[in-house]
Structure 1
Amino acid sequence: MSRPPALFPLFAGLETLEGVGPKTAKALEGLDVTRPKDLLFLLPYAGVDRGRKASVREVVPPTTVTVEVTVGAHYPPRNKGKPYRIAVRDAQLDFQLVFFHARADYLQKLLPTGQRRLISGKVELFDGVAKMVHPDHVLRPEEAGELPSYEPVYPLTGGLTQKQVAKAVGSALERVPVLPEWIDPALKTREGWPDWQAAVRATHAPEGAGDLAPTAAARQRLAYDELFAHQVTLALARSAMRRGRGIATHGTGRLQAHVLQNLPYAPTAAQKRAVHEIAADMAQPLKMNRLLQGDVGSGKTLVAFLALLVAVEAGGQGVMMAPTEILACQHFDGLQPLAELAGVRLELLTGRDKGAARRAKLEALARGEIGILVGTHAVFQKDVEFHDLRLAIVDEQHRFGVAQRMELGAKGVAVDVLVMTATPIPRSLALATYGDMDVSILDEKPPGRKPVKTALVSAARIDEVVGHLRHAIIEGRQAYWVCPLVEDSEVVDYASAEARFATLRAALGEGVVGLVHGQMPPADKDAAMARFVSGQTKVLVATTVIEVGVNVPNASIMVIERAEIFGLAQLHQLRGRVGRGAEESTCLLMYQPPLSESGERRLTILRQTEDGFRIAEEDLAMRGAGDLIGTAQSGLPKFRIADLERQGSLMAVAQSDARRLLTDDPDLESPRGQAVRALLWLLDQDRAIRLIGVG
């Protein structure tokens, strides 16, 4: 797909812009600006009121003021290092302009005595005398029109000044073409958004603070463009994935009914709905690409198992993959009793399977005798062959990006993919990260899960906490003790866990306390976990490695040290490790006083609610999107303009609009489709452009 000629001037070199030389171009790279079009999306984040005043008397210093003055006498410095002063007079007041390290000949030319000049800068009072140090602007009266009454302030990086950026932006704006409209006309009218060209110009010429807000029409329009382009990319990825023919997998419902009749509890309405959505997808001749999002303890395992049974009922096989061996073993243990009820052969395959035992499993798998396989990514090694794989379930999605999802689909001929995540994500972020998937949400808890009692404890009361643990151990209970990740350094983090392990071992006795942290060899980590799972050790001191998925029903106490430095979602995940058995469970959030305002707010929210979705929304409001899922591994796109905290509601509109467009015009050939192609070029959606090329 070739770039539309109307965009050529925006893709030229930066040095083709007026006032941009090699040095400025190099400096602009620090702001991710490498072509003129990037300047269009480098939006001002603040503004300075440069409205004309008759006199400095009209303002209260310190403040920025713009006045016309008559230049008086120059007072060059007598000694080196002293400032150069120039007396000036506006309509009502005499004051001084002050310059440091300035050349006299330059100042004589800039501000000749006896002439009138328009000056703008910050006025301050020094010993009751008004002074302006280094005015931002000095103009002849006839040039006054060049100074906007409200001047935009741009982000800067080393080697750049506001003047240089403003000049480069101005030059880029001269190249902005009129482009055909890509936004749905009804939506544009309803929102009252300007055309693209007008929106770009307006964002760079704000008339007041209101024009800089995310709610300003021009900014909303550009934010929507960005979200829409992103969703078109994901929708193209989704249709490319679905274009690969799937197999229509129709379950008979026989095995599922048998399992449900023999369960000690009835599934929740949310579980029934999710199973129904998944089964309906599997019955389609297109590949399924669905996300199952459920909070800690919402019963994802049962939903996953029923989905796997659909594959088995249809004469096929299912596989469930987990990111670590511990989790794979746990899934296996959790599914085993269900598989027995269904009379389906379930096997576990991990890196530990060796030799003859491994060979026997692989042969049974290839013959179709194993209905459901559970494993780590080892199930995708070359020698693992399925008889008829229909469904792949991937646990803990955020360890995987869109690219790996596509790879996974390539393993089976036409495997349906279901991804499970226990991390509740606010809707806008879920759409940003998983917009190429359909989403099923488990938003209610199965009956019988007891709420976890959550309490805040000051670190000074650590001895009481240890005493409390001692009693609990005597009663046969188990506990987690989570140490903080200090300074983000693995080494320091490891030291804090080691030290806590030593003090607890001294207090509670040898052999009672175990330790797991990120620096240990995987085998030692697994062994320490296994001792805790089997109940040999009663207290497990750990860094956050236990956040995902570990299930020890007998563990009913969770102590989190320095809870105030953890993120909300992380605290919620950690707390979800307890409350899985019959016992009343407690989570103690230990904090170091004094608590900051945000620290207190986080811990209070946690004490008030166990609803992961509400917690995630709060987290987004407090921390922002990038931090929420850890930008490095989230695969979250970097948006230049869109602000997911404040404009997140636009994301859902963008998704349905993008999907509707591609249903009507899969190859973007219509006039609106052609306009969308220009948008994808403008916003560097290379992947989308490649996907259209492929189609």
Structure 2
Amino acid sequence: MHLFQVPLTKLQGVGPQKAEELHALGISTVGDLIEYYPFRYEDYRIRELSEVKDGERITIQGTIASLPSMQRYGGKSRLICRVTVESALVTAVWFNRAFLKDQLTVGREITLTGKWDQRRRHITVADSEFPDRSTAKTGTLQPVYSVGGNITQATIRKLIDRALTQYGSLIPEILPSELLERHSLIPRKEAITRIHRPENTNEGQEARRRMVYEELFLFQLKLQAYRATHVKQADGLVHPVNNEEIRRFVSQLPFLLTDSQKQVINEILHDMKQPYVMNRLLQGDVGAGKTVVAAVGLYATVRAGHQGALMVPTEILAEQHARSLGKLFEPFGIQVGLLTGSLTERKRRDILASLQMGLLDILVGTHALIQEDVFFRSLGLVVTDEQHRFGVNQRSILRRKGMNPDVLTMTATPIPRTLAITVFGDMDVSTLRERPKGRKPIKTYSVKHDMMDRVLGFIRKEAELGRQSFFICPLIEESEKLDVQNAIDLHMQLTQALPDLTIGLLHGRMTAAEKEATMAAFAAGETHVLVSTTVIEVGVDVPNATLMIIMDADRFGLSQLHQLRGRVGRGEHQSYCILIADPKSENGQERMKAMTDTDDGFEISRRDLEIRGPGEFFGTKQSGMPEFRLANLLNDFEVLEQARDDAAAMTSREEFWSSPIYGGLRDHLAREAQLIGEPLD
């Protein structure tokens, strides 16, 4: 019987109520219980005082040297006693352990675990045992689990011990011997047992290494199996790319491409020439020039006789992209259309008719692109910008509007390549690291709210130099729940404080026409300051804007702050970002420090991962990002890359799909439903 089919009530001492309490921890079967791993260990191994640093948790053994004294205050108690340890006198203090007083007799041996105060030779006792009665913990590493409700550490330890004793012999080996030998991994049964019952640190580390590899390998196996059975199939459009035409298009661009852009363009065009469907992720820092790279791909698909689609998350961005692509493609006779929810019915009908007849070459739009009545004559390339803003279904609907078109997905939330490989494992990953030449780093400062007068002075100074400023705040109007500055109030305050400047206002509840007029005025330099909510977060490009001020910056996530900062620094002038934050916000201050330390988006993302953890960072539901039980994607990236290479090599071999040696892995894939139904997106 498979351990994940054995109910908890089969364990001695687990009735329906206890099973319900375990269920609240996500433990439903004996298999779940056995794979409920500790997140750390408490070290009860006895150490010498000379080895211990101040403030460390230690376990020491000694002899009681004085009668205990008891102090009571406010219903609480403190028990103090002297203990001789290695011929030194140590003061031991217990809080709220009055029942121990009669057991602390002079001359009796005792083991103490707690926090060590080096200067006072003082231990605050968390745990104590008498060797003449019990030595259950002394000398061991005790696992510490996530617990709650009526399930205590003692309970979960006892139940896992019982499960290993009763069912340990049924723990199956999942990995084939070739992988165990290649990476010197211990058997699965031994690894799981050692994780829960390590004799020493090395044993625990070896056990963890084995199980981390397995966890990452099985995850990668799903992605690579999907890739082997779906992605690299010869059913895509072959784009006969003419290199001479591409060179002519690139030579007409108003700027030189970076080496990084050239490399990524080559990767994309290579994919487009192949008979399989391109599924490529293009990630790059804010302002790294992703749109131009996408433009080259769109040009190639049009020259090959097909149409291109670019889907973006906001109308402002769609309008901006339609304008910029229109300028780039105009000399080549390529027609660019715009489709958003705010078009008049007549204009919309005209666009859709032109698209279906093939008179439109490229369609830029919001999620309006995926509506039922949108038909392409021959869709060759789908580009989605800021893909995490769209649900899995939205992206796949757009893809199905053509006969297996090539897909390019872009994101300006750069993540370390290893993590991109994990989260978007069914995609090839291209990365833009370079910034266009001449871009100056943005100077970033974090200030308190009481420095607003100086901030207003900075706005005025930039305006005198002919530059413009963004002023961002988190909410549109007042909220009883959150004491944050709102856009409407802030606009009024700035209008009063800076009467000689023109202050614009932009927020999500304005009509599309109002938003467009406001952005057009700002882009034309008619507005000195634009007060906005985060609708300008992605892609808005105003080269003359040099100052980004973010109100209540501690309310924003790190990647979002970096995105907002990227709205300035797009021209030749030195640009600045000022974060107005609450100094009492602990996580907020951590984010402010990261922002002032670096403007490298990849480093920002690494810090964001450290603060938030991968599940929240990627949006677990949308990205397919698992919550790993043991693996830590920041620390275990080398294991992840090895696991990916192993899984890719294995699934590319014919014998993986037929040999009984790999039957267990194929069963695992079948249970995970990765080989049937909808592919991963």
TM-score category, normalised to shorter length:
0.7 to 0.9
Q: Deviations over 1:502-553 (max 9, x none)?
A: 2211112388222334566766555544443344432112233322111222
Does residue 574 (structure 1) correspond to residue 564 (structure 2)? The answer is yes
Partner of residue 636 from structure 1, selected from 613, 625, 633: 625
Query: Equivalents in 2 of 1:389, 1:24: separation in Å?
Result: 57
Q: 1:453 to 1:419 in 2, by over 3 A?
A: closer
Q: Deviations over 1:290-331 (max 9, x none)?
A: 111111121111211111122112111111111121111111
Q: Is the 8 A contact 2:221 2:648 kept in 1?
A: yes
Does residue 688 (structure 1) correspond to residue 674 (structure 2)? The answer is yes
Q: TM-score, normalised by structure 1?
A: 0.81
What does 1:319-358 align with in structure 2 at a 5 Å threshold? 319-358=309-348
Q: Is the 8 A contact 1:237 1:691 kept in 2?
A: no
Q: Is the 8 A contact 1:181 1:672 kept in 2?
A: no
Query: Equivalents in 2 of 1:480, 1:51: separation in Å?
Result: 58
Partner of residue 198 from structure 1, selected from 180, 190, 193: 190
Q: Is the 8 A contact 2:467 2:544 kept in 1?
A: yes
In the alignment, which residue of structure 2 is the partner of 1:163? Answer: 154
What does 1:115-514 align with in structure 2 at a 5 Å threshold? 149-174=140-165, 175-176=167-168, 177=170, 179-182=172-175, 185=178, 188-189=180-181, 191-208=183-200, 216-242=205-231, 243=233, 245-400=235-390, 402=392, 404-447=394-437, 449-456=438-445, 458-459=447-448, 460-483=450-473, 492=482, 495-509=485-499, 512-514=502-504
Q: TM-score, normalised by structure 2?
A: 0.82
Give the partner amino acid of 2:462. A
Q: Is the 8 A contact 1:319 1:373 kept in 2?
A: yes
Q: 1:373 to 1:590 in 2, by over 3 A?
A: closer
- Quote the RMSD (CA, aligned, Å): 4.8
Q: Is the 8 A contact 1:477 1:555 kept in 2?
A: yes
Q: Is the 8 A contact 1:47 1:208 kept in 2?
A: no
In the alignment, which residue of structure 2 is the partner of 1:75? Answer: none
Measured after TM superposition, the shift of residue 483 of structure 1 is: 2.6
Query: Equivalents in 2 of 1:340, 1:493: separation in Å?
Result: 49
Q: Is the 8 A contact 1:66 1:120 kept in 2?
A: yes
Partner of residue 554 from structure 1, selected from 526, 529, 544: 544
Query: Equivalents in 1 of 2:641, 2:678: separation in Å?
Result: 23
Measured after TM superposition, the shift of residue 353 of structure 1 is: 3.0
Give the partner amino acid of 2:156. V
Give the partner amino acid of 2:143. P
- 1:264 match: secondary structure: coil
- 2:606 match: secondary structure: helix
In the alignment, which residue of structure 2 is the partner of 1:74? Answer: none
Q: Deviations over 1:415-446 (max 9, x none)?
A: 11110111111123212221110011111122
Q: 1:262 to 1:120 in 2, by over 3 A?
A: closer
Give the partner amino acid of 2:322. F
Query: Equivalents in 1 of 2:394, 2:6: separation in Å?
Result: 34
Give the partner amino acid of 1:472. E
Q: Deviations over 1:234-273 (max 9, x none)?
A: 2233344424821222222454233223223332222222
Query: Equivalents in 2 of 1:9, 1:131: separation in Å?
Result: 44
Q: Deviations over 1:275-297 (max 9, x none)?
A: 21112212222111111111112
Q: Is the 8 A contact 2:392 2:622 kept in 1?
A: no
Give the partner amino acid of 2:153. Q
Query: Equivalents in 2 of 1:331, 1:451: separation in Å?
Result: 24
- 1:463 match: secondary structure: helix
More displaced, 261-270 or 508-517? 508-517
Q: 1:124 to 1:567 in 2, by over 3 A?
A: closer
Query: Equivalents in 1 of 2:494, 2:637: separation in Å?
Result: 45
More displaced, 313-322 or 242-251? 242-251
Measured after TM superposition, the shift of residue 600 of structure 1 is: 6.6
In the alignment, which residue of structure 1 is the partner of 2:609? Answer: 620
Q: Deviations over 1:546-591 (max 9, x none)?
A: 221112222222123344564443332222111223x413213244
Give the partner amino acid of 1:32. G
Measured after TM superposition, the shift of residue 635 of structure 1 is: 4.5
Q: Is the 8 A contact 1:562 1:591 kept in 2?
A: yes
Q: 1:614 to 1:238 in 2, by over 3 A?
A: same
Measured after TM superposition, the shift of residue 618 of structure 1 is: 4.0
Structure of higher RCO (CA pairs closer than 8 Å, 6+ residues apart):
1
Give the partner amino acid of 1:466. L
Q: 1:410 to 1:192 in 2, by over 3 A?
A: same
Identity over the aligned pairs, expressed in percent? 38
- 1:277 match: secondary structure: helix
- 1:577 match: secondary structure: coil
Q: Is the 8 A contact 1:365 1:385 kept in 2?
A: yes
More displaced, 396-405 or 648-657? 396-405
- 2:280 match: secondary structure: strand
Query: Equivalents in 1 of 2:652, 2:27: separation in Å?
Result: 35
- 2:674 match: secondary structure: helix
More displaced, 598-607 or 571-580? 598-607
In the alignment, which residue of structure 1 is the partner of 2:11? Answer: 17
Query: Equivalents in 2 of 1:494, 1:416: separation in Å?
Result: 44
What does 1:642-653 align with in structure 2 at a 5 Å threshold? 642-653=631-642
Where does the alignment leave 5 or more consecutive residues of structure 2 unmatched? 65-74
Q: 1:135 to 1:649 in 2, by over 3 A?
A: closer
Give the partner amino acid of 2:629. R
Q: 1:328 to 1:360 in 2, by over 3 A?
A: same
Does residue 675 (structure 1) correspond to residue 634 (structure 2)? The answer is no
Query: Equivalents in 2 of 1:347, 1:692: separation in Å?
Result: 31
Measured after TM superposition, the shift of residue 190 of structure 1 is: 5.3
Measured after TM superposition, the shift of residue 640 of structure 1 is: 1.4
How many residue pairs end up in the alignment? Answer: 665
More displaced, 594-603 or 398-407? 594-603
Give the partner amino acid of 1:222. M
Q: 1:132 to 1:443 in 2, by over 3 A?
A: closer
Q: 1:686 to 1:665 in 2, by over 3 A?
A: same
Q: 1:133 to 1:598 in 2, by over 3 A?
A: closer
Q: 1:424 to 1:135 in 2, by over 3 A?
A: closer
Q: Is the 8 A contact 2:539 2:567 kept in 1?
A: yes
Measured after TM superposition, the shift of residue 388 of structure 1 is: 1.0
Q: Is the 8 A contact 1:240 1:691 kept in 2?
A: no
Q: Deviations over 1:150-194 (max 9, x none)?
A: 3222221111112221122123324243534526735x4454321
What does 1:5-154 align with in structure 2 at a 5 Å threshold? 5=1, 8-50=2-44, 149-154=140-145
Q: Is the 8 A contact 1:347 1:370 kept in 2?
A: yes
